[in-house]
């Protein structure tokens, strides 16, 4: 008889312990951003044709009307009506750190004036930063920190959030050995 009472108590406790876990379940995390386009696979343009600000900036317009700049100091970004940007941001920039979206009162790159349109299917590169445009998608990536951004009508997002793949690794893995 004592065994039946103990089995009943243990069984009831198991149900009570399991119930809060089900009620407190968290929603699944959002899916990860799709892999960014390989901007370095696009055809390069002649850098000197895009020089502005006494050669300190390399500026271009996208076919969609954004103004984008690569600066000689490592900074880069795009300004304008960013497609599907989070919280209605109209400016995205990066370098030397990770890229980020923000909102500004005006056109950050208005001083560029008339920038040359970067042809679809091409890229502009300076040092470790490359920006390209194809099929309505503009991508900028910085090989130095594996960061950048993708501007797309399907959703604009930051590439890799500035994480260094050599440092931000699953525990117990080594980038040099399999």
Confidence of residue 36 (pLDDT cuts 50, 70, 90): confident
Per-residue pLDDT tens digits for 12-26: 444 444 444 455 677
Q: How many domains does the chain have?
A: 1
Within a domain: residue 155? yes
Within a domain: residue 64? yes
Within a domain: residue 26? no
Identify the domain containing residue 131 by its residue range. Answer: 39-159
Percent of the chain with pLDDT over 70: 74
Lowest mean pLDDT among 4-13, 63-72, 167-176: 4-13
Per-residue pLDDT tens digits for 47-103: 999 999 999 999 999 999 999 999 999 999 999 999 999 999 999 999 888 899 999
Q: What's the first-to-final CA gap in the chain, in angstroms? A: 59
Within a domain: residue 23? no
Q: Which pLDDT score is estimated for 99?
A: 93
Within a domain: residue 57? yes
Structure tokens at 16: 């009570």
**Quick check: pTM over 0.75?**
no
Within a domain: residue 175? no
Within a domain: residue 27? no
């Amino acid at each position: 008889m004592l065994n039946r009472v103990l089995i009943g108590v243990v069984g009831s406790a198991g149900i009570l312990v399991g119930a809060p876990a089900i009620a407190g379940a968290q929603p699944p995390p959002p899916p990860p951003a799709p892999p960014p386009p390989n901007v370095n696979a696009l055809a390069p343009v002649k850098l000197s044709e895009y020089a502005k600000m006494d050669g300190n900036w390399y500026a271009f317009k996208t076919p969609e009307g954004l103004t984008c700049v690569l600066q000689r100091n490592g900074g880069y970004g795009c300004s304008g009506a960013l497609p599907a940007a989070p919280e209605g941001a109209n400016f995205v920039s990066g370098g030397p750190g990770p890229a980020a979206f923000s909102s500004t009162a005006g056109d950050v790159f208005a001083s560029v004036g008339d920038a040359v349109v970067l042809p679809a299917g091409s890229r502009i590169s300076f040092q470790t930063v490359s920006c390209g445009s194809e099929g309505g998608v503009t991508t900028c990536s910085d090989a130095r920190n594996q960061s950048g951004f993708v501007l797309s009508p399907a959703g604009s997002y930051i590439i890799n959030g500035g994480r260094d793949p050599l440092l931000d690794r699953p525990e117990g893995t080594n980038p040099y050995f399999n």
